[in-house]
Structure 1
Amino acid sequence: MIEITNLTKRYGKYIVFKDLNISFPTNKFTLITGPNGSGKTTLLKCLLGLEKYTGIIKFSNKSIYDILDEVQVVYDNCPLYANLSGYQNINSLGNNLLNQVEELLPKIHIDKKMLDNKVKNMSFGQRKKLGFILALAQKPKYLLLDEMTNGIDYESLLQISDILKNSDQLMTIIAIGHSLEFYSPLVDHLVIIKNNTVVSQEEIKCSGGGLVDLYKQNI
């Protein structure tokens, strides 16, 4: 379980969060959603240790710095090496990932030939799908998704959804996003942020049914 206790985050005098408390269940899919500017991305950065804050964040009673090799992130703008090809990006990670990556390619309609291209010549969606596959291939214990649906075509989203459905029993997944229709079949736990605080935490049953209604009730 990931536990956030009394998290306070400020930028100067501006308070983003004050005494925030959230728990993310193990091997479940949690969606963090809310209006633009409510602090969702800042919360993700705090989870990853990329922002200074006061309070406690523990991953199964461990610090993020103790489990970095168990965490993978798919950022909205994936930080790949732009002047290297897809294959070169894969090889740069070591760990003999090529076989795992090539097994995943057909599941998300990526042609192997695309990996011959330099990343800077790939579309935004292609880069995002490559980042997603690279994250999965490393078999993380914790997978964090930042606006996963941005820039992805509908058919690929259906395939990504199928992959995530089969992965959430093997890893703890936390997603930030607004596409409630996409996340509905996936979500076990919903966190809604508004006015820089958590206004709702709900355990979701029946394959995410009622996400839209829950959102409307709290926003």
Structure 2
Amino acid sequence: MLELKNITKRFDGRTIINNMNLTVPDGQILAIVGPSGAGKTTLLRCMSGLERIDSGEFRLDGQVFDPYENRDNDKVIGVVFQDFQLFPNLTVMENITLSPEMVLKQSKTEAEARAQELIDQLDLTGKETLHPFQLSGGQKQRVAIVRALAMNPKILCYDEPTSALDPDLRETVEKIILSLKASKMTQIVVTHDMSFAENIADQILRVEPIKPS
């Protein structure tokens, strides 16, 4: 279970997140919705350790946890970025196995075996030797999801996973997220798409911009 206790984040003197309290139970899906500038992505970046909070604390399974300071954060909270952030010079298989080999110290054989399981699970079989420029947007997104899952995270976060997808691919992403929920994966989804959020989420957090005092 992930808990946020009085989380506050400021940029240049402006408060983006103010004393937020939130609980995400194990195996559930939280959708974070709200208008542009409301702090959705900032909150996700704080949860995943990409930004340092100004005050408050995170708790994971009852223990204080600092995503920003945790050196093995990829093993705890994985992130699927809006722009995918795949390495253009690496193949699909190499993109997926790089971190497990370097961070988790898996052997090449072990990393590739786990990657292949995930590739097959997300219908990417046959794409292993392709480079990102040879993939569609939906395929790149699935590779990004596989890459995050290959680190065996406790929690998987997504930043606007449907923003550039047509309706058919949007439905595919829904199915992937719900299939991961069936395997007890805790997930946090930032989205501007309210109907998508309602289709996947156990709880929806609506955030609004904080007006300057």
TM-score, normalised relative to structure 2 = 0.80
Equivalence for 1:10: 10
8 A contact 1:107–1:159 mirrored in 2:
no
Q: How far apart, CA to CA, are the structure 2 residues paired with 1:183 and 1:33?
A: 8
2 CA distance for matches of 1:164 and 1:40? Answer: 19
Structure 1, 35-44 or 184-193: larger mean CA deviation: 184-193
Which residue does 2:112 correspond to in 1?
Answer: 98
Per-residue CA shift, 1:7-62, capped at 9, x if unaligned?
22111221112222222222111100001110001111111222222111222224
Does 1:78 pair with 2:84? yes
Deviation at 1:121, TM superposition (A): 4.1
Identify which of structures 1 and 2 has the higher relative contact order when contacts are C-alpha pairs closer than 8 Å and 6+ apart: 2
1:41·1:176 contact (CA, 8 Å) conserved in 2? yes
**Superposed, which structure 2 residues align to 1:116-135 within 5 Å?**
116-135=129-148
How far off is 1:67 after superposition? 5.9
Give yes or no for the alignment of 1:141 onto 2:154: yes
Query: What is the aligned counterpart of 2:192 among 165, 178, 189?
Result: 178
Distance 1:90 1:49, change over 3 A: closer
Q: Distance in 1 between matches of 2:201 and 2:97?
A: 33
> How far does the alpha carbon of each residue in 1:141-193 deviate from its partner, in whole angstroms, 9 at most, with x for none?
11111111123344343333223223225221111002232333321111000
Give the root-mean-square deviation of aligned CA atoms: 2.4
Instruction: Give secondary structure in 2 for the equivalent of 1:145.
Output: strand
Cα distance in 2 for partners of 1:90, 1:144 equals 17
Partner of 2:48: 48
Return the alpha-carbon distance in structure 2 between the equivalents of residues 90 and 97 of structure 1. Answer: 8
Instruction: Give the drift of 1:84.
Output: 1.3
Aligned-residue sequence identity (percent) comes to 27
1:25 aligns with 2:31: no
Change over 3 Å in CA distance of 1:196–1:67 after alignment to 2: farther
Which blocks of at least 5 consecutive residues in structure 1 are unaligned? 198-219
Q: Name the CA distance, whole Å, in 2 between partners of 1:158 and 1:102.
A: 23
Structure-1 residue corresponding to 2:35: 35
Match of 2:165 in 1: 152
Structure 1: distance between partners of 2:32 and 2:177: 16
CA distance in 2 between counterparts of 1:13 and 1:164 reads 36
Q: Secondary structure at the match of 2:152?
A: coil
Secondary structure at the counterpart of residue 98 of structure 1: helix
Aligned length: 196
Task: Give the match's secondary structure for 1:101.
Answer: helix
* Alpha-carbon contact 1:29-1:186 (below 8 Å) kept: yes
1:115 & 1:137 partners in 2: Cα distance?
14
d(CA) in 1 for partners of 2:56 and 2:160?
25
Deviations 1:190-214, CA, capped at 9 Å, x for gaps: 10001249xxxxxxxxxxxxxxxxx
Contact 1:125-1:153 at 8 Å conserved across structures:
no
Q: Secondary structure at the match of 1:80?
A: coil
Equivalent in the alignment of 1:204 = none
Deviation at 1:133, TM superposition (A): 1.8
